[in-house]
Amino acid sequence: MLGWTKGFVLAGLVTCAAFSAGQAEYPGALWNPAYSGNYSVSNRPSSYPITHVVIHIMEGYYAGSISWFQNPLSQVSAHYCLRSSDGEVTQMVLEKDRAWHAGVTFYNNQAVGIEHEGFSSNPSFWYTDVQYASSARLTRYLCAKYNIAKDRTHIIGHKETGRATSCPGPWDWTKYMAMVQNDSTFFGSSVPSGIAPGSTVTFTVQFTNGGSDNWTATGTDPCYISTLSPSQFYISGNWLSSTLIGGVTGTVAPGAIGAFTFSMKMPTTPGTYTENFQLYRGSIFRFGQVVPISFTVGQAEKIVDNSDAGFSTVGTWSSGNAAVGKYGSDYRFKTVATKTADYAQWNLNVASGGAYDVYAWWSEGTNRNSAVTYEISDRREPKLVKVDQRTNGGKWNYLGRVMIREGQGTVKMQGYGSGGGVAIADAVRVVGPY
């Protein structure tokens, strides 16, 4: 607070600001200069070193304070103003110049003044987390730019300048300083492709530690990755809560890159989804850059070849690799007989229940059976499909759509039949669910 009467900003003030050329120095800030007679032109840090940041509460409103600093009658100003609702920043005095904010010559000479919208009589309403976070980013920027120590000796409230004031009121210094001393920026991510609906997948998101102490997953103040609100991808027993996922891998020093690897349960409905991630420490809640990660959940493809663990045979089947158009390195075959219980089987083990399209692959050849029987398990009743393996070798052949429960699904090729020739058991493919 700069010495005016509480509530001054409610008055209809006439703005007579003399424009000072320039633009905002802090990235993302608006530039709306104060009246030129409300601050002193200087050449800091050459004329005066910049050694402190002074925190103020406006005891008024954002727009009104900006108007007041542009009024020739006010004789006060601050370098920056912050809005309560969203943390918007407006710069009104260049950092090289001496804003008249502290009422104490030393701090006017050597500090940057930051004004915050609000009233100290109602801090729970005005002192918002978004304003704290925005202010902390600004202060961290100033500390890095002018080599100001990020401690309570150099980051102070207006009342700590020696001026007879209660400003900034009940400011939460513990939370604020933790925000100033912690920062993170997005470095990269590993996002799976071909995500099956209903499956559990692993993501890795990396952040650079822009703070002043180590990140660890244990100890008194561990560093976690979190979502901004309860997540639909939450896994009970795997996540710490519906918003808090898990800790960083290892110890991450300031300036180093930390990896957060975690699992998420995918929706059963195909589509493109986005989740917002941010880091979390108990001392400050969430901090640093908010990172949106998008991923696509689609109809998944699963192929079981005759060499895979999901394949098995009953009876006498031979291995071959000479035929043209085989899938993978080899295939199985047997002569079709009228009296046999032999069969080949592919276990599909689908990630989620639903309707799946099923395909079969066999190698090319003229000695094939003309009516090979595939039996596909279905949630309602098995589906029998006969195919002529003398044609369409070396490609996927559609067998039909069936309903399969999560973790289930089998395709059997029967070894019995008429017409002679051989049956080729090579690969089966499912796509879904739909």
- Summarised one tens digit per residue, pLDDT across range 337-362 is 888 899 999 999 987 788 899 999 99
Query: Is residue 229 domain-shared with residue 279, that is, in the same domain?
Result: yes
Would you state the pLDDT for residue 338?
85
- In 5-63, beta strands by DSSP E: 30-31, 39-40, 52-57
For residue 70, pLDDT beyond 70: yes
Residues 332, 318 contacting (CB under 8 angstroms):
yes
Residues 128, 282 contacting (CB under 8 angstroms):
no
Instruction: Kindly report the average pLDDT of the chain as a whole number.
Output: 91
2 lies in some domain: no
360 lies in some domain: yes
Query: Is residue 306 domain-shared with residue 279, that is, in the same domain?
Result: no
For 168, the token pair is 């900034």
381 lies in some domain: yes
Query: Is residue 327 domain-shared with residue 274, that is, in the same domain?
Result: no
Of 130, 158, 180, the one marking the end of a domain is: 180
Of 180, 204, 222, the one marking the end of a domain is: 180
Query: Is residue 356 domain-shared with residue 408, that is, in the same domain?
Result: yes
Query: Is residue 247 domain-shared with residue 175, that is, in the same domain?
Result: no
Task: Give residue-wise pLDDT tens across range 199-236.
Answer: 899 999 999 998 888 999 999 999 999 999 999 999 99
Domain span at residue 405 reads: 301-432
- pLDDT category at 22 given cuts 50, 70, 90 is low
Of 231, 265, 298, the one marking the end of a domain is: 298
33 lies in some domain: yes
320 lies in some domain: yes
CA 119 to chain CA centroid, Å, is 34
3 lies in some domain: no
Query: What is the amino acid identity at position 65?
Result: S
Report the catalytic residues. Answer: 115
Query: Is residue 165 domain-shared with residue 210, that is, in the same domain?
Result: no
Please state the domain count of the chain: 3
Structure-model confidence comparison of residues 192 and 128, the more confident one: 128
Residues 50, 44 contacting (CB under 8 angstroms):
yes
Query: Is residue 142 domain-shared with residue 24, that is, in the same domain?
Result: yes
Q: Could you please report the per-residue DSSP string of 291-358?
A: EEEEEEE--EEEEEETTSTTEEEES--EEE--STT-STT-EEEEE-BSS---EEEEE---SS-EEEEE
For residue 19, pLDDT beyond 50: no
- pLDDT category at 16 given cuts 50, 70, 90 is very low
CATH of the domain at 253: 2.60.40.10
- Among the listed ranges 109-113, 168-172, 182-186, 228-232, which one has the minimum average pLDDT value? 182-186
Query: Is residue 353 domain-shared with residue 413, that is, in the same domain?
Result: yes
CATH of the domain at 18: 3.40.80.10
Query: Is residue 57 domain-shared with residue 164, that is, in the same domain?
Result: yes
The whole-angstrom separation of Cα 405 and Cα 347 is 12
The whole-angstrom separation of Cα 311 and Cα 318 is 14
The whole-angstrom separation of Cα 340 and Cα 35 is 98
> Comparing C-alpha atoms, which of 263, 265, 127 is closest to residue 203?
263
For residue 12, pLDDT beyond 80: no
For 179, the token pair is 């925000």
Q: At which residue do the structure tokens 């120095």 appear?
A: 25
Contacts (Cβ under 8 Å, ≥6 apart) of 229: 243
Would you state the pLDDT for residue 381?
84
Contacts (Cβ under 8 Å, ≥6 apart) of 430: 301, 302, 348, 350, 356, 357, 358, 359, 404, 409
